[in-house]
Chains A and B, each alone.
Chain A
Amino acid sequence: MLWRLLIFVWIAGWMVAALLFAPQVPVLHETTRVLYFHIPAAWIAVLALGWGMLHSVLYLVKRDLQHDDHAAAAAELGVLFTVMATVSGSLWAKAMWGSYWNWDPRETSIFFVLILYIAYLALRGSIEGDEKRARLSAIYSAIAFVAVPFLMFVVPRMYETLHPDPIINPRGKVDMDPMIRTCFFAMLIGFTALYFWLQTLRVRVTRIERRRELARGL
């Protein structure tokens, strides 16, 4: 309860600070503000992917259904944050690049993450039995882990990008206005806390559902 309140106040407070007081970046102007929402969402999309894959591999090693619960929850939340990052990015692209979608490398990799999540959830939905579902979807998650670096980092590097980290961040290190930087990292922390809170919540719900199913079976 305290956590929930703290996360709410933190995110709301920093969002207001970011929108009202943080300066704008030269080329991006008003659209600078998407930064505080879009990048944290994209970061969570990737974090959830890694978290889910970690727990999938842990499931294959330890055979504890708790790991599978974590993997499933990460995929569900991953879809949510990926859609948030994609939609906010797409709206921003319309404002800056003049089209909602044009297969920029960054758009390609986030799209890939989205279909990966959806394929994983579709696969889960079609397997009967907790153990079998956990095992087979963990196998899929582990093999997808091989594809992720290729699609996130290797293939997009083969094409030119218009994505603005070269504009915000030209020297390859964090080099922003101090006010922007503070707000941005605060939002990053806020989103990460929000994600882990939602994650534990989802895992607890799954556990209660399983216990109820067991009770009904008896």
Chain B
Amino acid sequence: MPNAASNSAGAVWSVLRKECRTEWRTRYGLNAALLFAVASLTAVSFAAGRLGNRTDIMAALFWIVLLFATLASMSHAFVREVEARTMLLLRLVATPTEIAVGKLLFNLLFLLVIEAVTVPLFMVLMGAPPVRWGDFLAVLLLGTVSLAASSTLVGAVIAQTRGRGALFAGVSLPLLLPVLAAAVGGTREMWAANSVAPSLRLLGAYAVALLAASLLLYDHLWED
């Protein structure tokens, strides 16, 4: 059924385009997330001062800033639909999996934009030593995929509860701890000039496991 497959891909693409367009019209989600990321970065940098050669602490702080940015902004994609009462309409035109995959791609893009601002700023403010770009970007990218995959599923669940945003951070945390452990480990090894391969394997395995489980679970997200 090549037709159904291309229809699905088309639907995912439409959801992604629609997400980007609505975000771009108001930009309040992106602005709020960027402001939050920069605020937490400033707080960390101000409190810790220049760490110089303590790259182990720097790696931890780096991922804490990204984790906070994720926890603060990622529930937005689904909560916005519920608050604008547009979820039902969206479900009429696409299957749950198509919606969720579209939102997942949007969340990924959203995180990459935030990182494009936060990462250089972090390096400058914290006075970080030069990075090994290949290793660093690999850890960053795999970590970002895991953050987005976990946030998309939890965000879709949380949007249907009474707590919504307030619950998101607490409920996401257990799923994000493996990402945090592996990504901090990888970043630390990168700065210590050791091999990042073990951390990359762990991050990759976790990202794949999360994505596979998500694809099985998306179908159960909405039913009434």
What is A's interface to B at a CB cutoff of 8 Å?
60, 112, 115-116, 118-119, 122-123, 126-128, 131-132, 135-136, 138-140, 142-147, 150-151, 154-155, 158
What is B's interface to A at a CB cutoff of 8 Å?
150, 153-154, 157-158, 160-163, 167, 170-171, 173-175, 177-178, 181-182, 185, 198, 202, 205-206, 209-210, 213-214, 216-217, 220-221, 223-224
List the B residue with the shortest CB-CB distance to A137: B157
A-B contact pairs, 28 of them (CB 8 A): A115-B173, A116-B174, A119-B170, A119-B171, A119-B174, A122-B163, A123-B158, A123-B171, A126-B162, A126-B167, A127-B160, A131-B223, A132-B224, A135-B220, A139-B221, A142-B213, A142-B216, A143-B150, A143-B175, A143-B213, A143-B214, A146-B209, A146-B213, A147-B174, A150-B206, A151-B181, A155-B177, A155-B182
Contact A139 B217 (CB under 8 A): yes
Q: Give the secondary structure class of B's interface.
A: helix
Contact A143 B217 (CB under 8 A): yes
Contacts of A139 in B (CB 8 A): 153, 157, 217, 220-221
Contacts of B178 in A (CB 8 A): 147, 150-151, 154-155
B210 to chain A, nearest CB (A): 6
Contact B167 A136 (CB under 8 A): no
B187 to chain A, nearest CB (A): 14
Contact A127 B161 (CB under 8 A): yes
A43 to chain B, nearest CB (A): 20
Contacts of B160 in A (CB 8 A): 127, 132, 136
9 tightest A-B contacts by CB? A150-B178, A126-B163, A126-B161, A116-B174, A126-B162, A119-B171, A155-B181, A146-B213, A146-B209
A126-B161, A158-B198 known; 6 new pairs, CB 8 Å cut-off, are A122-B163, A123-B171, A136-B157, A140-B154, A143-B150, A146-B210
Contacts of B150 in A (CB 8 A): 143
Contacts of A119 in B (CB 8 A): 170-171, 173-174
Contact B153 A144 (CB under 8 A): no
Q: A127-B162, A135-B223 are in contact. Are A143 and B153 (CB under 8 A)?
A: yes
Contacts of A132 in B (CB 8 A): 160, 224
B176 to chain A, nearest CB (A): 9
Candidate in A136, A142, A143 with the most chain B CB atoms within 10 angstroms: A143
Contact B177 A151 (CB under 8 A): yes
Contact B162 A143 (CB under 8 A): no
List the A residue with the shortest CB-CB distance to B166: A126
B20 to chain A, nearest CB (A): 26
Contacts of B224 in A (CB 8 A): 132
B143 to chain A, nearest CB (A): 14
| Distance in angstroms between the alpha carbons of A191 and B129 in the assembled complex | 53
Contacts of A150 in B (CB 8 A): 178, 202, 205-206, 209
Question: Which of B162, B174, B198 is within 8 Å of A112, CB to CB?
Answer: B174
| Distance in angstroms between the alpha carbons of A142 and B162 in the assembled complex | 21
Q: A143-B150, A158-B185 are in contact. Are A60 and B220 (CB under 8 A)?
A: yes
| Distance in angstroms between the alpha carbons of A150 and B177 in the assembled complex | 9
B91 to chain A, nearest CB (A): 15
| Distance in angstroms between the alpha carbons of A143 and B152 in the assembled complex | 12
Contact B181 A115 (CB under 8 A): no
Contact A140 B220 (CB under 8 A): no
